Amino acid sequence: MTSSLPRRPLLAALAIAPFVMARAASAQGELVNIEKKIFTMKQFRLESGTVMPDVRIAYETYGTLAPDGRNAVLLTHGYTSSQHMAGRAGANGAEGSWDGLVGPGKAIDTNRLFVVSSNMLGSSYGSTNPAQTNPKTGKPYGPDFPTITLVDIVNAQKALLDSLGVKHLVAVAGPSFGGYQTFQWGVTYPDFMDGLVPVVSAPKGSGGEASVKALIEVLAKDPNWNGGHYYENGGITKVLTEMRVATLKRYGIDEQLAAQFPDKAAREAEIVKRAESWSKVFDGNSLVVLRRASVNFDAEKDMPKIKAKVLYVISRTDKLFPPSIAPGVMEKLKAAGVTADYFEIDSELGHSASGLDAAKWAPRLKAFMATLPQGA
């Protein structure tokens, strides 16, 4: 059943004015000085019926919203990544994960489109998550953070878009867990967008509750775990670092770094360095909350509700969502009456190909955007 936004949350003041967005560009036409913004709302009702008294959603924006509010694109990010998907935060800031796709003159052209890149409810990059203070106890939520679903994540994003004055989306697009969100948008708000671009993803989660329990068992190996109440024990960076190294290798980081670090030992040291940096930012309980949301995700059963055109994209070397799943997904989409096309990124960079090998599919994305109202 299509879920509508539960009782409309009370929208609070935004961190900055909603319509004047980061559009500063360098001489090369790149987005610079991108800032993280925070949207806040009160009394947000989850699918479970639980009401969260205060919710924050972190986000970035690129481009300018048209007066009719109908030139917007929503970007959704992966399981352990952030909303920083385009441009740079200052002259020496990190490049956004989809910077090769989003910006002036690019496939998602910020000269004409207003792009909102939203963090997820439950994520560790500025949105309300388990490491933040539970207003009822004055202590971090930890393992007591309420169970959330993909519908809850999408509903929070819808409230954000409403607050910004977005009336209709040209498209929703995102990789991996962002693809889950993209599919969920298509079935929850089928009249709100013209296009969907789920990338290196699927319309249904996998693993079930057993995979959530397995994740908790791994996290519990850290001596500071304490049933998930580790915030005053020094955290669990040791086990998070080990997990991140394994995840990066599944994503194809060895192939990504081979040219820069041909020596295996030097490459391994770089991978560990990146994993340690991530472990200091991302919260273990967020991994659990989002994993549970993902395994319960199922937009496949509601595919007939999708009205938007779909461009489904997979990487040839992705081990998480291999090309072998694509025929089944496309068959289900077409059986549901959805107008859908498939594109395979010819890349050696596995699950990370959509961003790191953006040039290999940017023309296809640009062509798809051109078929959408206001997308060209």
The Cβ of residue 40 has, within 10 Å, a number of other Cβ atoms equal to 18
CA distance 344 to 342: 7
Clarify whether residues 220 and 77 are in a common domain.
no
CA distance 309 to 321: 21
- Structurally, the chain folds into a number of domains equal to 2
Contact at 8 Å (CB) between 303 and 310?
no
Residue 3 lies in a domain: no
CA distance 97 to 78: 10
DSSP state of 1: -
318 catalytically annotated: yes
- Assessment of whether the complete model's pTM goes beyond 0.95: no
Clarify whether residues 234 and 356 are in a common domain.
no
168 catalytically annotated: no
What are the structure tokens assigned to 149, written together? Answer: 């679903």
Which of 258, 289, 320 is the last residue before a domain boundary?
289
Q: Which entry of 97, 176, 286, 347 is annotated as an active-site residue?
A: 176
Query: Where in the sequence is the domain holding 312, given as residue range(s)?
Result: 10-205+298-370
Clarify whether residues 109 and 179 are in a common domain.
yes
**Cα dist from 175 to 61, 182, 212, whole Å:** 18, 9, 21
CA distance 311 to 74: 15
Residue 323 one-letter amino acid? P
Q: For 306, left (φ over 0), alpha (ψ -120 to 50), or beta?
A: beta
Contact at 8 Å (CB) between 186 and 310?
yes
176 catalytically annotated: yes
Residues 6 or more apart whose CB falls under 8 angstroms from that of 160 comprise: 39, 57, 59, 116, 118
Clarify whether residues 15 and 86 are in a common domain.
yes
Residue 376 lies in a domain: no
Q: Which entry of 109, 222, 302, 318 is annotated as an active-site residue?
A: 318
Residue 318 lies in a domain: yes
What are the structure tokens assigned to 18, written together? Answer: 């909603």
Clarify whether residues 220 and 365 are in a common domain.
no
Q: What are phi and psi of 95, to 5 degrees?
A: -75, 140
Token match 């409810």: residue? 121
CA distance 219 to 238: 10
Q: Which entry of 84, 315, 351, 352 is annotated as an active-site residue?
A: 351
Contact at 8 Å (CB) between 325 and 237?
no
User: Considering only CA atoms, which of 236, 213, 214 is closest in space to residue 224?
Assistant: 236
pLDDT means per 10 residues, the chain with 376 residues, are 37 32 45 91 97 96 96 96 88 84 96 97 96 92 97 98 98 98 98 98 94 96 95 92 91 87 93 91 95 96 98 96 98 98 96 95 98 80
Residue 266 lies in a domain: yes
Clarify whether residues 179 and 201 are in a common domain.
yes
Clarify whether residues 60 and 179 are in a common domain.
yes
Position 14 scores a pLDDT of 31
Q: What are phi and psi of 75, to 5 degrees?
A: -105, 135
Clarify whether residues 20 and 64 are in a common domain.
yes
Which of 270, 289, 308 is the last residue before a domain boundary?
289
Which of 231, 264, 289 is the last residue before a domain boundary?
289
What are the structure tokens assigned to 185, written together? Answer: 């948008």
Clarify whether residues 42 and 163 are in a common domain.
yes
3-state secondary structure at position 9 = coil
Clarify whether residues 195 and 249 are in a common domain.
no
Residue 5 lies in a domain: no
SS (H, E, C) 20-62: CCCCCECCCCCECCCCCEEEEEEEEECCCCCEEEEEEEEEEEE
Clarify whether residues 165 and 238 are in a common domain.
no
**275: CATH:** 1.10.1740.110
DSSP state of 25: B
Residue 144 lies in a domain: yes
